């Protein structure tokens, strides 16, 4: 018998001058970065929520609350690693992950392969099972004006009995 589940994750952050922009564990040279409790890696946060949702576990805000000082300025690679450990405890294996990063600037094309490599290593899956897409918001709203980032992620998990 095999159990297959899908999970959806979402994250967004406002961007502010003088902060680091980290997406998928990769620092992207840019003059703005997210306002956040941790490092604000919206891609990793969306993936964590997708993984937790697919496994039927509590969301990222419950697992790693933003009012807990131990997570203040934390590298989101640690949050994703802890999420993966929770999945392993429940015997879930990650089948694939697909994400869309919505950001007016900077362009992510030069960084997509490094992001995939970083995620593949952290999740212990082949990078051919990871898709990262980047879109603009066509200058609409806060994201379109360069003041925010939004990420959507979908994952599938498999558990064999």
pLDDT of residue 82: 92
Domain range summary for the chain, segments of one domain joined by +? 2-160
Q: Which DSSP category does 127 fall into? A: G
Q: Which of 104, 118, 141, 144 is CA-nearest to residue 43?
A: 118
pLDDT of residue 71: 67
Q: Report the pLDDT averaged over residues 74-91.
A: 93
pTM over 0.75: yes
Interval 6-34: pLDDT, tens: 999 999 999 999 999 999 999 999 999 99
Looking at per-residue pLDDT, the higher value among 69 and 149 belongs to 149
Annotation: CATH topology of 2-160: 60s Ribosomal Protein L30; Chain: A; (3.30.1330)
pLDDT of residue 69: 66
pLDDT of residue 53: 96
pLDDT of residue 59: 84
Is 131's pLDDT higher than 90?
Answer: yes
Taking residue 161's Cβ as centre, other Cβ atoms within 10 Å add up to: 6
- Pairwise CA distance, residues 33 & 14, whole Å: 8
Q: Which long-range contacts (CB under 8 A, 24 or more apart) does 133-137 make?
A: 133/98, 133/99, 133/100, 133/101, 134/100, 134/101, 134/102, 134/103, 134/107, 134/108, 134/109, 135/100, 135/101, 135/102, 135/103, 136/102, 136/103, 136/104, 136/105, 137/102, 137/104
**Tokens standing for residue 63:** 């697992």
Q: Which DSSP category does 17 fall into? A: E
Lowest-pLDDT range, 41-45, 73-77, 144-148, 151-155?
A: 73-77
Q: Report the pLDDT averaged over residues 1-7.
A: 94
pLDDT of residue 97: 97
Going by C-beta distance under 8 Å and a sequence separation of 6 or more, which residues neighbour residue 128? none
Interval 29-73: pLDDT, tens: 999 999 987 889 999 999 999 999 999 998 877 777 677 667 677
Going by C-beta distance under 8 Å and a sequence separation of 6 or more, which residues neighbour residue 51? 7, 9, 83, 84, 87, 94, 155, 157
């Amino acid at each position: 018998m095999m159990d297959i589940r899908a999970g959806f994750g979402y994250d967004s952050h406002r961007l502010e001058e003088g902060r680091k922009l980290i997406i998928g564990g990769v620092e992207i040279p840019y003059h703005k970065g997210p306002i956040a409790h941790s490092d604000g890696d919206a891609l990793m946060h969306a993936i964590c929520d997708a993984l937790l949702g697919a496994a039927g576990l509590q969301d990222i805000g419950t697992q790693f609350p933003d009012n807990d000082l131990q997570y203040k300025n934390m590298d989101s690679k640690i949050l994703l690693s802890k999420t993966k450990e929770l999945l392993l405890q429940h015997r879930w294996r990650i089948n694939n992950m697909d994400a869309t990063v919505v950001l007016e600037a900077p362009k992510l094309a030069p960084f997509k392969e490094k992001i995939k490599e970083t995620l593949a290593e952290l999740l212990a899956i082949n990078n051919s099972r990871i898709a990262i897409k980047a879109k603009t918001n066509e200058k609409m709203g806060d994201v379109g004006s360069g003041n925010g980032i939004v990420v959507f992620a979908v994952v599938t998990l498999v558990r064999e009995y």
